[in-house]
């Protein structure tokens, strides 16, 4: 009888250990399943859709990056050197490059002004060309969106003659996708012309 009770107690202990082990294993599996579900939900919330010329494509949202003052200035300088410096042979290429750096409304405004002023026609008819000298780019990194002004001098050459025109612009900068056409991943918006008042470059 004592031997039977001892066997019963031993079997009960084994059963108890198995039960506890099963409960712990189930708990661990539930934790893993919960973590997996949370991970999938987070990935789903990070998924965005980008509208391109090829259609609507899925993409993953990236954490907001910190834009440096150098990226902001270089974006504006690149824009000025492409959009406002050209000649007959590279006019279309330069303007197209500039349009990748500015929003649609601002780009259309500039192209309209060029067409109205017959810029390309004068290049072909008169053999003129233009260059640009950027004097200063002032960026307010504390503004949201980032805001700024830039001042430059555009020179028009006609043979040995030349004439200089001051350019002042104000704008905002927003983040977009980096690409070969837009290496700094920034886009100019709310573009407008202002008086030419160059000042030393600084960040505020």
**Which residue spans within the chain are E strands per DSSP?**
47-52, 55-60, 129-140, 146-158, 161-175, 186-193
* Backbone Cα Rg of the chain: 32
Question: What six digits make up the tokens of 58?
Answer: 């899925």
pLDDT of residue 192: 98
pLDDT of residue 22: 73
Dihedral sign from CA coordinates of 28, 30, 31, 35: positive
Dihedral sign from CA coordinates of 25, 27, 31, 34: positive
> Which of 100, 77, 45 has the alpha carbon at shortest distance from 167?
77
Which residues sit opposite 166 in a β-bridge?
A: 153
- pLDDT averaged over 10-residue windows placed end to end, the chain, 204 residues: 56 67 72 76 62 56 77 98 98 98 98 97 96 97 96 96 97 96 97 89 52
pLDDT of residue 59: 56
pLDDT of residue 203: 45
Answer for the pair 169, 193: CB distance below 8 angstroms, yes or no: yes
pLDDT of residue 63: 58
| Element at 80 (helix H, strand E) | helix 69-83
| Element at 127 (helix H, strand E) | none
pLDDT of residue 27: 72
**Global model pTM greater than 0.85:** no
Q: Which fold has domain 69-193?
A: Nuclear Transport Factor 2; Chain: A, (3.10.450)
DSSP single-letter state for residue 102: B
Q: Where in the chain is the domain with CATH 3.10.450.230?
A: 69-193
């Amino acid at each position: 009888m004592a031997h039977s009770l001892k066997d019963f107690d031993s079997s009960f202990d084994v059963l108890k250990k198995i039960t506890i082990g099963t409960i712990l294993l189930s708990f661990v599996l539930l934790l893993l399943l919960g973590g997996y579900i949370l991970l999938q939900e987070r990935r789903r919330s990070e998924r965005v859709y980008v509208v391109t010329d090829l259609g609507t494509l899925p993409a993953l949202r990236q954490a907001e990056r910190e834009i440096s003052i150098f990226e902001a200035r270089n974006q504006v300088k690149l824009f000025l050197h492409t959009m406002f410096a050209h000649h007959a042979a590279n006019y279309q290429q330069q303007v197209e490059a500039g349009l990748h750096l500015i929003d649609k409304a601002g780009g259309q405004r500039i192209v309209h002004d060029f067409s109205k002023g017959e810029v390309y026609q004068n290049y072909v008819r008169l053999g003129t060309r233009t260059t640009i000298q950027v004097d200063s780019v002032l960026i307010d990194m504390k503004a949201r969106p980032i805001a700024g002004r830039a001042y430059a001098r555009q020179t028009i050459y006609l043979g040995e003659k030349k004439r200089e025109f001051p350019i002042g612009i104000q704008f905002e900068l927003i983040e977009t996708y980096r690409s070969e056409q837009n290496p700094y991943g920034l886009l100019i918006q709310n573009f407008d012309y202002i008086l030419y008042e160059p000042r030393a470059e600084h960040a505020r």
